[in-house]
Structure 1
Amino acid sequence: MAIVKVENVSFTYPNETKPILNDIHLTIEQGEFIVLIGQSGCGKSTLLRHFKREICPHGTKLGAIFYDGQKLEELLPEKAASEIGYVFQNPDNQIVTDKVWHELAFGLESLGVDEQTIRRRVAEMANFFGIQKWFHQKTTELSGGQKQLLNLASVMVMQPKLLLLDEPTSQLDPIAAMEFIQTLNRLNKELGITIILIEHRLEEVLPIADRVLIMEEGKLLFDGQPREIIKALPANHTMISALPSATKMYHFLNCEGPIPLTIREGQKWLVTKQFDLHKAHQLPTASEAQSIVVLEAKDVAFRYEKTANDIVHHLNLQVKRQELLSIVGGNGTGKSTVLSLLAGLQKPYRGKILLFDKALKSYRNKELYQNHLTLLPQDPKTLFVQKTVKLELEDMAKFHKVSEAKVAEMLEQFQLTSLLERHPYDLSGGEQQKLALAKLLLMEPEIMLLDEPTKGLDAHAKEELAAILKNLQAQGMTIIMVTHDIEFSAQHSNRCALLFDGNIVSEAEPRAFYSGNNFYTTAANRIARGIIDGVIICDDVVMLCEKN
């Protein structure tokens, strides 16, 4: 039985002529697990928001969407609110109360459900999601993973039949992301809930999906089973780079037979191959940065309140000119706080931060932020103050006396030309990241601090971002990046550092750093471990096979 039916749906945002959705036809059966993928700006989030009428975007819509055999617009408010659940990309955007227990009960209270039923359902969900230990905590004290789990539980307490999720793991560390996706799998398999998930982490979600939908320029390009993607797409299609590592290895080596999808299948497939591991075939290491230290933290400690515990303590870190340093670690370990300290937005109560061998606190704000460094925050929307993309960049260019040619270059480089009249809040998550980064680069800083820069970006957009960052490094820029994107960090960093318990516990060049970890490592490393030493990206395996 079809739970969702989409008939001839097209949609155009205000002040635009080109539709973002173009004649979509789609039927989703009850109990299916659907993964929706595609490049940033292809219309994924717009389509998903159309299934939840309370957050349906403003614009011109043609066609019809049916839920449970009834037009979406004709559903009773109680049915629409309770049976169709939505989980946003940013955990903080969905939490509305100050306590965990109240957040769980809030939706049911809004529907006027009786107290006894609320208590029973809240207790059940708290047990299912393992929330008992932090049931009475303040929502502001939760880690990113806990907040997103709370958001999911708050939706599930309403007992929905359809669950919509827009990149729910984009701000979660690798371990929290895996646990979240496993929870979704349980909800689908044990409760029969229909799930439509937008996700760029395909390594974990494709093996549990029933169907995959690929969107391209507002249309459905592919609708089928995960293993069929590689056969349906052209050999050089941009979505190939988004596929799981085992599948990419199989594709790039022109293999035949069963297509591996999981880590285990990749290991079984790889062990059948023969390799010539001659010393001449040693895998390359990341190039070393210059020896000049441009930013340094010396025994830094920081806490948000005098009586609270330290968020950062005994932090020692040196950043060298023209390097790309990536800092990884779990949610709540203090990574974003470290960036704020290095940017001078927070002041340590102990220790020193030096910029070009001079105390950071001695710089005047104008000198510091217009001449030396800038920070891309985790939520790019905090940088937007204008009504259109065009005005955002023109405003920044005018303030920093940047030429129109430079603005045009940024628009072209980040592929924002077609979005000039779009409101920044109407952009997809990936497009917002691009706009925020383009805006900051107009300042031409010497040091750029990036907090989750690949959040919301598809695989192709990440490759474009990597090329931009490499170009900036070549021009002399130093980049410090906090990220949960292990694959991006492994492929493009000069040095990686692990933050745990408020300080750096390990740092090394990417191949040495990721080869020794079980969870904070790449899928390629997990596949090749014990078969080929030192592999951290798919290209390593492809290179060795081709040389053989």
Structure 2
Amino acid sequence: MAVLTIKDLSFSYPEEKDNALHSINLEIDEGEFVVLLGQSGCGKSTLLKQIKREIAPHGQLIGEIFYRDTPIHLIEAQLKSSEIGIVLQNPENQIVTDKVWHELAFGLENLGLETHTIRRRVAEMANFFGIQQWFRQSTIDLSGGQKQLLNLASVMVMQPSLLLLDEPTSQLNPIAASEFMTMLRKLNEELGLTILIAEHRLEEVLPMASRVIVMEKGTVIYNGKPRNLLQGLPHGHAMIKALPSAMRIYHSLGGMIDSPLTIKEGRQYLQEMDIENDRIEDEVLHEKQEIVLEAKDVAFRYVKDGQDILRYFNIKVYEGEFLSVIGGNGTGKSTALKVLSGLLKPYRGQVFLNGRKINKYTNTELYQKNMAVLPQDPTVLFVEKKVSQELQTTAKMAGSISKIEQIIELFGLGGLLERHPFDLSGGEQQKLAIAKLLLLNPRILLLDEPTKGLDAHAKQSLAETLQVLQKHGVTILMVTHDIEFSAQYSDRCALFFDGQIISNDPPRKFYSGNTFYTTAAHRMTRKIFDNAITCEDVVKLCKKADKVASG
């Protein structure tokens, strides 16, 4: 039976010529786990918001959405809020109360349920999700992974039949993301919950899917089984770069039918090729340049008598390098970035910019002549009502009006210029925020999760842009959970733990030595290849082995 039916659905935003959605026809059956794919701006988020009408954007809607054969706009609001749940990208944005237990109870209280029913449901859900140990904590003290798990539990306590998720792991570290996806699998398999999820990180979610829907420019271009994606997508389509590592390697080596999906299946496929152990040549270490940003024995806490978030934090960032910092949610990486940028003041230790104490700089010197900072939430940078106005205002301030057209083309913002920044998808907001920063002509870029919400094509464009900036001497410090991006494009990688940097090395050495904080390609090829960390590494070594065997 179809839980959700979408018939001839089209939608356009105000003052937009092109439709964001165009003639969508879909059916989602009871108990399915459906993954929605597509490049940033293809319409995934817009479609999900049309299903969850309470958060639907303003615009012109044509067509109809049916929930269990009833037009969705005719369903009683109370029933709709409990039957159809949604979890969004930013864990912070859905939490509305100050305590974990109250967050779990909040939706049920709004439904007017009796106290004993609320208490029973909350207790059951807290146990199911393993929340009991932090049941009475303040929500503000939770890590990103805990907040997103709490959001999911707060939706599930309403006992929905359909769960919508929009990039729910985009801000989670690899371990927290894996735990979140494991919980979704459990809900689907043990409760029969119908799930429709839009996601860019496909390593774990695609193998769970019973069906995959690929969107492009507001239309559906593929609707079928995950293993048939390579056959179903047009030759050379940009989404191929976003597929799980096993599929990408299989495709690059000529495979098309019955593709491996998981790390385990990819490993079996490579072992059947009977390849001898080999390795990629290690990176050539360039002589280190001048130190442009440095922290010496820095300590920071938010509350006078609270715990240190940073303790004996030391870091050196060299001119023109791309340094990425990884680590768990809630460990203090973003705090470190704010201290390094002068936004927060440490109570011990010093931060130096070009050898001068950062507190000796004026704000104008810091943020208009030296550095630009991308925060975790890009929307805090938006102050205008249109994308075009955001770019123009920033360019006028920085004297870079001549660069606007180039930036618009670089980030594919041409079709979004008349859109309100808050109507953009998460990936589009991220691109706009980075575009604004580049108009400032910074010498140092501090980026907090810059690839969050970006599809594979947008990530590659961003990487190419950062590489061009590096060639012009721009220094880049990135805090990220995107290990694949870090491994492929960084000059140096560092691990943040317990308030400090505990190790740093070039990407190949760094990721080859890790078990969990490493790439899918390395996990797949461990003990087959010594130090392959990207899909390109694996394909190169496989082709080298094949050439040796045939020659």
Measured against the shorter chain, the TM-score band is: over 0.9
Shift of 1:255: 3.2
For residues 290 and 506 of structure 1, the distance between their equivalents in structure 2, rounded to whole angstroms, comes to 17
Matches within 5 A, 1:469-484: 469-484=466-481
Which residue number corresponds to residue 75 of structure 1? 75
For residues 313 and 265 of structure 1, the distance between their equivalents in structure 2, rounded to whole angstroms, comes to 42
Shift of 1:334: 0.3
- 2:163 partner SS: strand
State yes or no: 1:426 paired with 2:423: yes
**Would the alpha carbon gap of residues 257 and 412 (structure 1) be closer, same or farther in structure 2, given more than 3 Å must change?**
closer
- 1:527 partner SS: helix
Deviation sequence 1:178-220 (CA, Å, 0-9, x none): 0000000000111111000011110000111000000000000
Which residue number corresponds to residue 156 of structure 1? 156
- 1:57 partner SS: coil
Which residue number corresponds to residue 375 of structure 2? 377
For residues 282 and 532 of structure 1, the distance between their equivalents in structure 2, rounded to whole angstroms, comes to 8
Shift of 1:277: 6.1
Residue segments in structure 2 that go unaligned for 5+ positions in a row: none
- 2:204 partner SS: helix
- Given that residues 290 and 322 in structure 1 are in contact (C-alpha distance below 8 angstroms), is that contact kept between their aligned partners in structure 2? no
State yes or no: 1:446 paired with 2:462: no
Residue 299 of structure 1, aligned match among 289, 297, 300:
297
Residue 413 of structure 1, aligned match among 397, 400, 410:
410
For residues 277 and 138 of structure 1, the distance between their equivalents in structure 2, rounded to whole angstroms, comes to 51
**Would the alpha carbon gap of residues 295 and 418 (structure 1) be closer, same or farther in structure 2, given more than 3 Å must change?**
same
Residue 506 of structure 1, aligned match among 486, 503, 507:
503
Which residue number corresponds to residue 122 of structure 1? 122
Residue 335 of structure 1, aligned match among 327, 333, 336:
333
- Given that residues 522 and 536 in structure 1 are in contact (C-alpha distance below 8 angstroms), is that contact kept between their aligned partners in structure 2? yes
Q: TM-score, normalised by structure 1?
A: 0.98
Letter of the aligned partner of 2:508 in structure 1?
Answer: R
Matches within 5 A, 1:354-369: 354-369=352-367
For residues 436 and 258 of structure 1, the distance between their equivalents in structure 2, rounded to whole angstroms, comes to 40
State yes or no: 1:497 paired with 2:509: no
Which residue number corresponds to residue 10 of structure 2? 10
Which residue number corresponds to residue 207 of structure 2? 207
For residues 443 and 377 of structure 1, the distance between their equivalents in structure 2, rounded to whole angstroms, comes to 15
Deviation sequence 1:411-432 (CA, Å, 0-9, x none): 1111101111000001111110
Deviation sequence 1:375-418 (CA, Å, 0-9, x none): 00010000000000000011111122222x21111111111011
For residues 56 and 15 of structure 2, the distance between their equivalents in structure 1, rounded to whole angstroms, comes to 17
For residues 427 and 447 of structure 1, the distance between their equivalents in structure 2, rounded to whole angstroms, comes to 27
For residues 243 and 510 of structure 2, the distance between their equivalents in structure 1, rounded to whole angstroms, comes to 24
**Would the alpha carbon gap of residues 58 and 231 (structure 1) be closer, same or farther in structure 2, given more than 3 Å must change?**
same
- 1:202 partner SS: coil
State yes or no: 1:545 paired with 2:537: no
Letter of the aligned partner of 1:458 in structure 2?
Answer: D
For residues 290 and 160 of structure 1, the distance between their equivalents in structure 2, rounded to whole angstroms, comes to 56
State yes or no: 1:267 paired with 2:279: no
- Given that residues 289 and 322 in structure 1 are in contact (C-alpha distance below 8 angstroms), is that contact kept between their aligned partners in structure 2? no
- Given that residues 289 and 321 in structure 1 are in contact (C-alpha distance below 8 angstroms), is that contact kept between their aligned partners in structure 2? no
- Given that residues 166 and 197 in structure 1 are in contact (C-alpha distance below 8 angstroms), is that contact kept between their aligned partners in structure 2? yes
For residues 513 and 452 of structure 1, the distance between their equivalents in structure 2, rounded to whole angstroms, comes to 19
For residues 319 and 310 of structure 2, the distance between their equivalents in structure 1, rounded to whole angstroms, comes to 24
For residues 262 and 505 of structure 1, the distance between their equivalents in structure 2, rounded to whole angstroms, comes to 31
Deviation sequence 1:343-382 (CA, Å, 0-9, x none): 0000111111111111111111111111111100010000
For residues 489 and 235 of structure 1, the distance between their equivalents in structure 2, rounded to whole angstroms, comes to 27
For residues 277 and 113 of structure 1, the distance between their equivalents in structure 2, rounded to whole angstroms, comes to 62
For residues 66 and 197 of structure 1, the distance between their equivalents in structure 2, rounded to whole angstroms, comes to 18
State yes or no: 1:464 paired with 2:490: no
- Given that residues 320 and 473 in structure 2 are in contact (C-alpha distance below 8 angstroms), is that contact kept between their aligned partners in structure 1? yes
Which residue number corresponds to residue 401 of structure 1? 399
Shift of 1:234: 2.6
- Given that residues 325 and 494 in structure 1 are in contact (C-alpha distance below 8 angstroms), is that contact kept between their aligned partners in structure 2? yes
Shift of 1:291: 2.2
For residues 30 and 296 of structure 1, the distance between their equivalents in structure 2, rounded to whole angstroms, comes to 55
State yes or no: 1:194 paired with 2:194: yes
Q: How many residues align?
A: 545
**Would the alpha carbon gap of residues 80 and 282 (structure 1) be closer, same or farther in structure 2, given more than 3 Å must change?**
closer
Shift of 1:478: 0.2
- Given that residues 280 and 532 in structure 2 are in contact (C-alpha distance below 8 angstroms), is that contact kept between their aligned partners in structure 1? no
- 1:531 partner SS: coil
For residues 456 and 285 of structure 2, the distance between their equivalents in structure 1, rounded to whole angstroms, comes to 23
Shift of 1:256: 6.4
Shift of 1:286: 6.3
- 2:203 partner SS: helix
State yes or no: 1:147 paired with 2:147: yes
**Would the alpha carbon gap of residues 284 and 233 (structure 1) be closer, same or farther in structure 2, given more than 3 Å must change?**
farther
Deviation sequence 1:109-158 (CA, Å, 0-9, x none): 00100100000000000000000011001100000000000000000000
For residues 102 and 397 of structure 1, the distance between their equivalents in structure 2, rounded to whole angstroms, comes to 45
- Given that residues 230 and 256 in structure 2 are in contact (C-alpha distance below 8 angstroms), is that contact kept between their aligned partners in structure 1? no
For residues 163 and 389 of structure 2, the distance between their equivalents in structure 1, rounded to whole angstroms, comes to 36
Deviation sequence 1:300-352 (CA, Å, 0-9, x none): 10000110000000111100011100000000110000000000000111111
- Given that residues 288 and 494 in structure 1 are in contact (C-alpha distance below 8 angstroms), is that contact kept between their aligned partners in structure 2? no
For residues 366 and 257 of structure 2, the distance between their equivalents in structure 1, rounded to whole angstroms, comes to 58
Which residue number corresponds to residue 525 of structure 2? 528
- Given that residues 14 and 59 in structure 2 are in contact (C-alpha distance below 8 angstroms), is that contact kept between their aligned partners in structure 1? yes
- Given that residues 231 and 256 in structure 2 are in contact (C-alpha distance below 8 angstroms), is that contact kept between their aligned partners in structure 1? no
Letter of the aligned partner of 1:215 in structure 2?
Answer: M
Q: TM-score, normalised by structure 2?
A: 0.97
For residues 272 and 89 of structure 2, the distance between their equivalents in structure 1, rounded to whole angstroms, comes to 40
- 1:203 partner SS: coil
Deviation sequence 1:92-113 (CA, Å, 0-9, x none): 1000000000000000000100
Letter of the aligned partner of 1:342 in structure 2?
Answer: L
- 2:343 partner SS: coil
Which residue number corresponds to residue 101 of structure 1? 101
For residues 402 and 471 of structure 1, the distance between their equivalents in structure 2, rounded to whole angstroms, comes to 17
Shift of 1:287: 5.5
Shift of 1:56: 1.1
Shift of 1:506: 1.1
How large is the RMSD of aligned CA atoms in angstroms? 1.2
- Given that residues 283 and 540 in structure 1 are in contact (C-alpha distance below 8 angstroms), is that contact kept between their aligned partners in structure 2? no
- Given that residues 87 and 165 in structure 1 are in contact (C-alpha distance below 8 angstroms), is that contact kept between their aligned partners in structure 2? yes
- 1:101 partner SS: helix
- 2:80 partner SS: helix
